[in-house]
């Protein structure tokens, strides 16, 4: 299989349509397995890796970034072959300025991520969440300085509303700064709210969408088969989600069976079909899981299948404002 690449939003940056999510590294996946997953991802043509300073979920440690940094340090062109994306916002220390987006925090958190990742620059530096108590002029000025210093190349957002994307983009334009080129959003068959405001805003501003949780925390990966360890699908939260959405899941799995495809691959193919989407995040815990996801890139969904999926998982009615205003 030949990997497919696409420009990230309106930028000239080309990334694989699958983005390796690393949130499991150091938590559910040990370091050596994480190394094998990253090596295999490169072999498969996946050049886009996503992380965050808070991943590993131990205050101030940046465990996942450190794992990636030690992998980069092995050499062999690993760093040069990867478009590395990380995020800031979360609490990284006891000081009130060790989080969010003051100019001070942006500078300090960027330097800390660079040190953990053992690199001299971040290819994509992302706002993990919106913070309403800071002006975009302060934020963009801090990012402009980092860009001038060669510490960052592009900026992206995550979990922003359409209005936040518009505010950030207009503020960047006023400063003659490139601004956002990507937005990470919760987007899957069972969570389609972003179709209202976020996807139209991204299209209007030339921002590439990077869905996270395309399998809805395992809900769209199919129920674990007898004797199979289901990972997230075995957690009480996800079991409860299966029960809550039993009718939808049953219909979805029946449809996938009729197509001769695994539910996870149909769910991933559906996300990738949207022309607003540049790449979708995949978060494998094993090399085998990573390899199994590749099938999604080869699936072409017919209009009949898309209609059937819309009936099982109805969207919000299309793009705003036409979906609810006239």
Tell me how crowded residue 132 is: count the other CB atoms within 10 A of its CB: 6
Looking at residue 2, the DSSP 8-state letter turns out to be: P
Query: What share of residues in the chain are helix, strand, coil (percent, to 5)?
Result: 45, 15, 40
Q: How confident is the model at residue 239 (pLDDT cuts 50, 70, 90)?
A: confident
Exposed e or buried b for every residue in 76-94, given b needs 16+ CB within 10 A?
A: eebbeebbbbbbbbbebee
**pLDDT 10s digits, 148-191:** 999 999 999 999 999 999 999 999 999 999 999 999 999 999 99
pLDDT tops 80 at residue 309: yes
Q: In this predicted structure, what is the pLDDT of residue 325?
A: 77
| Lowest mean pLDDT segment, chosen from 74-83, 242-251, 264-273 | 242-251
CA distance 231 to 228: 9
Q: Euclidean distance between the first and final Cα of the chain, in Å? A: 46
Q: How confident is the model at residue 240 (pLDDT cuts 50, 70, 90)?
A: confident
Q: In this predicted structure, what is the pLDDT of residue 91?
A: 97
Give all domains of the chain, ordered by start, each with its CATH number.
5-312 (3.20.20.100)
Lookup: tokens for 276: 């607003």
Q: Give the DSSP H/E element, type plus range, for residue 86.
A: strand 83-88
Alpha-carbon distances, residue 158 vs 164, 215, 234, 280, 309 (angstroms): 10, 18, 27, 13, 26
195, 186 Cβ separation under 8 angstroms: no
**pLDDT 10s digits, 8-22:** 999 999 999 999 999
Q: Determine the 3-state secondary structure of 36 from DSSP.
A: helix
> For this structure, is 55 an active site residue?
yes
What's the whole-number average pLDDT of the chain?
A: 95
For the whole model, what pTM was predicted?
Answer: 0.95
| Lowest mean pLDDT segment, chosen from 6-15, 115-124, 222-231 | 222-231
CA distance 74 to 112: 20
Residue with tokens 């094998």: 36
Work out the average pLDDT over 63-87.
Answer: 98
Exposed e or buried b for every residue in 141-167, given b needs 16+ CB within 10 A?
A: ebbbebbeeebbbbbbbbbbbbebbee
Name the active-site residue from 5, 55, 89, 125. Answer: 55
CA distance 252 to 116: 42
């Amino acid at each position: 299989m030949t990997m497919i690449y696409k420009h990230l939003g309106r930028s000239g940056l080309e990334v694989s349509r699958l983005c390796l999510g690393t949130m499991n590294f150091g938590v559910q996946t040990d370091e050596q397995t994480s190394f094998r997953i990253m090596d295999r991802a490169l072999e498969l043509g996946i050049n886009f890796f996503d992380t965050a300073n808070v991943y590993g979920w131990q205050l101030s440690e940046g465990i996942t970034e450190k794992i990636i940094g030690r992998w980069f340090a092995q050499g062999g062109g690993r760093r040069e072959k990867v478009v590395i994306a990380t995020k800031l916002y979360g609490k990284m220390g006891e000081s009130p300025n060790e989080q969010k987006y003051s100019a001070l925090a942006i500078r300090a958190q960027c330097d800390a991520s660079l040190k953990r990742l053992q690199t001299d620059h971040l290819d994509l530096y992302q706002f993990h969440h919106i913070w309403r108590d800071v002006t975009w002029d302060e934020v963009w000025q801090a990012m402009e300085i980092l860009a001038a210093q060669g510490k960052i190349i592009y900026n992206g957002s995550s979990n922003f509303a359409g209005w936040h994307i518009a505010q950030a983009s207009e503020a960047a334009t006023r400063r003659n700064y490139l601004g956002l080129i990507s937005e990470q959003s919760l987007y899957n068959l069972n969570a389609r709210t972003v179709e209202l405001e976020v996807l139209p805003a991204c299209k209007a501003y030339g921002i590439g969408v990077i869905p996270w949780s395309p399998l809805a925390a395992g809900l769209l990966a199919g129920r674990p088969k007898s004797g199979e360890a289901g990972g997230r699908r075995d957690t009480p939260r996800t079991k409860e989600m299966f029960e809550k959405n039993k009718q939808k899941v049953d219909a979805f799995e029946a449809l996938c069976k009729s197509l001769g495809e695994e539910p996870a691959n149909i769910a991933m193919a559906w996300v990738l079909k949207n022309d607003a989407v540049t790449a979708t995040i995949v978060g494998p815990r094993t090399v085998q899981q990573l390899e199994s996801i590749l099938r999604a890139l080869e699936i072409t969904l017919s209009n009949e299948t898309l209609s059937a999926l819309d009936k099982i998982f109805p969207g919000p009615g299309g793009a705003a404002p036409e979906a609810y205003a006239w």
